[in-house]
Amino acid sequence: MTTGKTAMSTFRSNLSPTSALGIARRAQWRSLGIPAEDLAKPKVAIVNTSSDLAACFAHLDDIVTVLKAELRGQGLLPFEIRTAAPSDFVTSAGRAGRYILPSRDLIVNDIETAVEGALLDGMICLSSCDKTTPGHLMAAGRLNVPTVVIPCGYQHSGKAEGREADVEEVFLLAAQAAVTGASTDNLIDLADDAILGPGVCAGMATANSMHIVAEALGMAVPGSAPVRANSEPMWDSVRRSAVALADLLERDIRPRQIITAEAIADAVRAMLAVGGSMNTIKHLQAIAVEAGVDVDVWELFRTLGRQTPLLASVRPNGPALIEEFEDAGGGATILRELLPLLHGDRLTVAGTTVAENAAAARPADGVIIRPLSDPFGTDPAISVLRGSLAPGGAVAKRPVPDPGPHRFRGPARVFGNRDEAIGAIGDGRLRSGDVAVIRGIGVRGAPGMGLTSAFIFALHARGLADEVALVTDGQFSGLVNQGISIGEVSPEAAEDGPLGRVQDGDLIDIDLSEGRVDLLVSPDELATRPAYRAPTDRNTGGGMLDQYEQLVQPLGCGAVLCARPGAGLCTRESALATTASGEDA
């Protein structure tokens, strides 16, 4: 690395060598074997969000070794730091999965503590499982030091070998067997064959969706998502990312120059074009908030959804494997095809613009990835709904292409948790034509946001996926796209949203084509009903989840933990004032 706009002496990590802190740092770092001549170099964090708990992270330590050498070759002094490392399939076992979403913000705070506490000059983030990529991007926006995100690849799956299952299939089959009582004799064999290497889940669920988001925002080098874990394309992106970080430091280019309102809109387009995970909505909103970008991501999905065609149909949305999607050009080809709809002059971490990156990508093959002129469909795979039941918004995920139905009206059957609703399928309380309302499990109500995927899988197992609708203030897995399932209703019941005042028998009208979800009860009648009261036995453990309940902001703010200056949506009061109005944007 050569000095450019930013001289070495101006890097914030270079404390006065004779100050108390400067001397103490020298003592620490020299004892680690760092040469004296390296102490004046730009100091960067390798953020290794890793643990031994899941295959998602199994290869990250090997990446660190290579990346350190690459960064040193660029004239930088790297330090590995570690953070919390949640895995949805593993960390969701405790307290009904309520640690999953809060762990995203814990990652952000971990990074802030290490990078800001040590006054490091930049960071390069090894992103793997679902919550790590949004956590890294949020931290980049918050700290605003030169940053590159590396999507670290997806696992080799049984499906890719022509076997019966990948991890998503095993999860679905197990959930269905729990409801139907079907034999589980083959599940262990399927599980043993489902994951054949390190990396995130194979498919267009949350992890690969967020990897593509990182590239679409411009925070990852072009052509880096999705990639097979430990493949040559992954190692190539690692090497290019080291070069990119050195260049960002030399030119003093920071995340808030890259994560702009236009970048957020382009990432929304990319998610709509690939039928990405519905969880990307709240994550993109949180990234915008942390980067100080005043934008309503929910409304972007709502408006751009009708203007952005579907260009890919990847599992679990359609038949294509993620390997086929990568081989057809992956996220880079999607951005190339979307270029007429994007902000092509935006800067990316590679030092090139979106348009320049798109010109280097391969064109759509017309089979796995289609051009704008011949899409898989024009109905949005991710639909944001509003209406009298969800004035602040709600979200539905649909398959690609979408066979319907798009309209559902029925009486509400109200449940306080997922397991109670699953039980109602078996005992006859929940029947064809009903709308199951699972409430009180939003970001504050759970707290931490409860998962309802098992209920949706149970409906599917009983053949009721198209006959019973779901409305909840909880969340789904990125795998879910079955039936009419409406999640993340805002304001949630715990914030005295209309969902908290629904009673058994109230008619609920859902129209996916019009983007509406309405409670057919008069406002005057609703006002006379008592507000929702959370149960006293939520088993939060008296620790992190209780802290989360006190600090978390509404979904309109991306469920971040604190208000960020300069972002108009980002206070509890302003978000509630917006969502309580009941007006469509």
The alpha carbon of 88 is separated from its chain's Cα centroid by a whole number of angstroms, namely 12
* Residues contacting 243, CB < 8 A, separation 6+: 70, 74
Residue 200 CA to residue 323 CA, distance in Å, equals 13
Helix spans in 185-329 (H): 187-194, 206-217, 232-251, 255-258, 261-274, 280-290, 297-304, 322-327
Nearest CA-CA partner of 77 in 249, 203, 294: 249
By annotation, the residues acting in catalysis are 477
Q: What is the CB neighbour count within 10 angstroms for residue 430?
A: 23
Three-state secondary structure of 70-131: HHHHCCCEEEEEECCCCCHHHHCCHHHHCCHHHHHHHHHHHHHHHHHHCCCCEEEEEECCCC
Cα–Cα distances in angstroms (integers) from residue 314 to residues 382, 395, 566, in the given order: 14, 20, 38
* Count of alpha carbons within 13 angstroms of residue 65, beta-carbon side: 3
Residue 214 CA to residue 266 CA, distance in Å, equals 11
- Rounded to whole angstroms, the maximal C-alpha distance in the chain is 76
Angle formed at CA 260 by CA 259 and CA 261, multiple of 5 degrees:
135
Sign of CA dihedral 319, 487, 283, 100: negative
Residue 246 CA to residue 1 CA, distance in Å, equals 6
Residue 103 CA to residue 85 CA, distance in Å, equals 8
